[in-house]
Amino acid sequence: MERQQELDLTGKVAIVTGASRGIGRQTAIDLARRGVKVVITARTIERDASVPGSLSATAKEITDAGGEALVVQADLANREDLHRLVEQTVTHFGGVDILVNNAASTVGSVWSKAFLDITFDEWSHHFDVHVHAPFILMQLVTPIMASRGGGRIINLTTGSAEAHRLVEEVVPPTASFGQQASVPSYFASKRALDRLGNIAAPELRNFNVFVMTMHPGFVSSEVVSARLQSQGKDMAALIDTGIPARMIVYFAACANPDEYTGRLFKAEREFQELGLDRGDLGATIRATPE
């Protein structure tokens, strides 16, 4: 990959799901630093005692820095909430230019269950959040983006989906960091998300809408860090949330997204290969794609 110029994002509108913590929170803040009007969404607005972070805290950090943020509570497993999310975005900011499908279901009893013990509701919930919600949101925002000249959709996947697979399927490990690593519903739904972005990209390109899918790596989110600390595990291998967030900003701003559409990227690898830096977030380059 060769680094492209990054267009000025000032005045663009982005929806970022799962923005109360982790990559979603950092992405919303970083986009706002580039002048993007950010719509942040999650299931709860105020802090949940069981997990750190909240939408209200993310919004405060953005507005305190002079940015614009709209908070919309939404359960991504609820279709009505998805429609309301887009409707409120258009009503408040006039449209949508960037969609970041970041939200993931990473807690619950399903994470410690074997395949034969998983209920259908647990299985389908992961597909509702990881596949059906992005599918619905992509369909809803594409006509809006097209009417504004085009847009970008960035889907967040996971290494556990084994997107970078060999010719023959690799059998996943049974345990990682001392805990269950094979979470069937999570793995399968994220693999489906990989394919969704890949297969939708050729059609959406006709609307000047481009789809990139990214594996963020094993990120030092609040939930992961707390989980590993409680187990006394070494967190040295964790990737800072700023790395995938910076890559998301790059894909939202790159001058020629057609080079990337339909493809799957690995955040840390591409971050290093492109020579990106967390300190260059404030530097925008106005350019016109050739």
220-263 pLDDT, tens digit each: 555 554 555 555 555 566 788 889 999 999 999 999 999 999 99
Cβ neighbours, 10 Å, residue 10 = 11
Is 2 domain-assigned? no
From residue 43, how far is each of 72, 101, 203, 286 by CA, in Å?
Answer: 9, 14, 31, 36
Distance (Å, whole) CA 208 – CA 210 = 6
Q: Which helix or strand (DSSP H or E) is residue 235 part of? A: none
Is 284 domain-assigned? no
Structural domain boundaries, residue 210: 13-274
Distance (Å, whole) CA 136 – CA 83 = 8
- Return the axis-axis angle of helices 184-205 and 120-127, rounded to nearest 10°: 30
As a three-state string, the secondary structure of 100-151 is: EECCCCCCCHHHHCCHHHCCHHHHHHHHHHHHHHHHHHHHHHHHHHHHCCCE
Residue 165 dihedral angles phi and psi, to the nearest 5°: -90, 160
Is 128 domain-assigned? yes
Is 282 domain-assigned? no
Instruction: Please tell me the total count of domains within the chain.
Output: 1
Q: Give me the tens of pLDDT residue by residue for the chain, a chain 290 residues long.
A: 899 999 999 999 999 999 998 899 999 999 999 999 999 999 888 766 556 678 999 999 999 999 999 999 999 999 999 999 999 999 999 999 999 999 988 777 887 788 899 999 999 999 999 999 999 999 999 999 999 999 999 999 987 555 445 555 555 555 544 444 567 888 889 999 999 999 999 999 999 999 999 999 877 555 554 555 555 555 566 788 889 999 999 999 999 999 999 999 999 999 999 999 887 765 443 333 33
Q: Is the whole-model pTM more than 0.85? A: yes
Q: Which amino acid is at 106?
A: T
Distance (Å, whole) CA 200 – CA 101 = 14
Residue 15 dihedral angles phi and psi, to the nearest 5°: -105, 125
Residue in the structure block whose two tokens are 């993931």:
104
Is 48 domain-assigned? yes
Is 124 domain-assigned? yes
C-alpha neighbours within 13 Å on the C-beta side of residue 259: 14
Is 60 domain-assigned? yes
Cβ neighbours, 10 Å, residue 54 = 20
* CATH number of the domain residue 147 falls in: 3.40.50.720
- Contact call for residues 54 and 47 (beta carbons, < 8 A): yes
Is 287 domain-assigned? no
